[in-house]
Amino acid sequence: MTPTDAANPARRLTARVTGEVQAVGFRYRTLQQANRLGLTGVVSNHSDGSVLVVAEGPEPALQELLHWLNSPAAPGTVDAVQESWSDATGKFGSFSTE
């Protein structure tokens, strides 16, 4: 994880992504983006067709991931991203897919 400091304490972003986001490489590309940004967490498919992203790290890096999730660069077709923010828990040692 990218080191944090008082100016950029670790935060947690939980994002539910809906649209055509399964079977299009969405999880793999999200994993790549999260690793590039130095984030930890997990991305997983859900039975309702959505993808859940839980990422921890400095808020500027999380904001960049959120921007990417909402951008045309994300695979498939993103209809909506529902986001929530909380304090990081330190639960994750890396970023992975489920």
Catalytic residues: 27, 45
Distances 34 to 47, 48, 67, 91 between C-alpha atoms, Å: 23, 23, 12, 16
